[in-house]
Structure 1
Amino acid sequence: MFDIGFTELLIVAIVALIVIGPERLPKVARTAGHLFGRMQRYVNDVKADISREMELDELKKLRTSMEDTARSFEQSVQQGLSETESELNRVAQSARSQADSEAAPARDSDPAAAERERPEAPASPQLDLGLDPAADPSTRKPA
C-alpha cells in the first residue's frame, strides 16, 4: 500500500525529532503507536466482518442448492414409486382378468370342479361345542 523504505522512515524520524523536540517525542511516538494499533484492529475487524458475511452468503447459497437437490431427488423418487405402483397395479389387474377368464371355461365344462370351488356351508355351532346334532330339539323334524 505505502511504499516507504528505511531511508524515508529515517528522514521522517529526524524531522519529527527536530520539530517536536527530544522531550515530547517519546510521548508523541507512544500516542501514534496506540492510534496506529487501534487503526489496525479496526481494519482487521472490518475484514473479519466482511469475510464472515461472504461465508454466510456462500452457506446460504449452498443451503438453497442442497434444498433444491433434495427436492428434485424426492420428486424423482416419488415419480419412480408412482410408476412402479401403476405398473404393479396393471400387472395385478391383467393377472386377475387372466385368472377369471381361465376359471370361467373350467366352471362351465366341469361340474365336479365347480362343486369343489363352491364354499362349504358353515359348520353348526353345536359341532364346535362337541354336542350331538341329533340330540338338539331345534334340528329335529316334527313327526
Structure 2
Amino acid sequence: MIEISFGKLVLLALIALIVLGPEKLPHAARTAGVFMRRIRTGWDSVRAEVERELQVEEIRRQAKEAAARAEAAQAELDETLRKMRPTGAPSGAPVAAETPAAMPVTESTATAETTVTADATSAKEVPHGGA
C-alpha cells in the first residue's frame, strides 16, 4: 500500500491550500474523505465476498473428499460381505457365522448355538413393540 509520512501529508495539504484556496479546501477535504470511505467500503465488501467464495469452495472440496471416502468404505464393505456369503446364497441372505475348525463342537457349544438360534427364531416371531 502507499505509505504517506507526516511530511508528505503536510506538503499535500499545503499544495491543496494553494490550488483550491481557503474557501474550497474544507469542502474538497470532505468530498475526498467520502470518496475514500466509499472506495474502502467497496474494497472490503469485494474482499469479504472473495473470502466467502473461497470458504464455499473449501467446503465443497471437503464434501467431495468425504463422499469419495464413504464410497470407498461402502465398496470395501460390499466386497467383504460378498466374500463372506456362500456362493449359492441370494444377495439378501444373512451371513452365517462359521465355526472355526480348531474349535471342537462340544455339548455346551451346541447348547449355546441352539439357544442363540431359538432366541433368534422367537425374536422373529414376536412383532416389534411386543404386544
Q: TM-score scaled to structure 1, two decimals?
A: 0.59
Structure 2 spans left out of the alignment, 5+ residues: 88-94, 100-131
State the AA in 2 paired with 1:53: E
Q: Aligned partners of 2:35 and 2:86: how far apart in 1?
A: 76
How far is 1:77 from its partner? 1.1
Which amino acid counterpart does residue 8 of structure 2 have in structure 1? E
From the two aligned structures, give the one with the greater helix fraction.
Answer: 1
User: Alpha-carbon deviations, 1:6-32, whole Å to 9, x = none?
Assistant: 100110001101111111111110010
Q: What residue in structure 1 maps to residue 14 of structure 2?
A: 14
Number of positions where the alignment pairs a residue of Structure 1 with one of Structure 2: 91
Q: 1:116: which partner in 2?
A: none
Letter in structure 1 aligned against 2:86: S
Distance 1:85 1:4 in 2: 77
| Distance apart, 1:59 and its partner CA | 1.0
For 1:10 and 1:78, locate their aligned partners in 2 and report how far apart those are by CA, in whole Å: 76
CA apart distance, 1:42: 0.5
Question: 2: distance between equivalents of 1:31 and 1:46?
Answer: 23
Residue 27 of structure 2 corresponds to 27
Q: Give the distance between the partners of 1:86 and 1:45, measured in 2 at CA.
A: 63
Which amino acid letter does the alignment assign opposite residue 31 of structure 2?
A: T
Post-superposition Cα deviations, 1:52-77, rounded to whole Å, max 9, x if no partner, equal: 11111111111110000000011111
1:4 partner SS: coil
Q: Which runs of 5+ in 1 are unaligned?
A: 93-143
- In 2, the alpha carbon distance for the partners of 1:39 and 1:48 equals 14
Task: Quote the residue 2:85 is aligned against.
Answer: 85
Larger Rg, first or second structure (1 or 2): 1
Q: What is the identity percentage for the equivalent residue pairs of Structure 1 and Structure 2? A: 30
User: Deviation of residue 86 (structure 1)?
Assistant: 2.9
Equivalent position of 1:37 in the other structure: 37
> What is the CA deviation profile of residues 76-114 of structure 1, one whole-angstrom value per residue up to 9, with x for unaligned ones?
11111121223867x69xxxxxxxxxxxxxxxxxxxxxx
RMSD between aligned residues = 1.9
- Higher relative contact order (CA closer than 8 Å, sequence separation 6+): 2
In structure 1, what is the equivalent of residue 54 of structure 2?
A: 54
CA distance in 2, matches of 1:59, 1:40: 29
Match of 1:76, SS state, is helix
4+ runs of 1 displaced by more than 6 Å? none
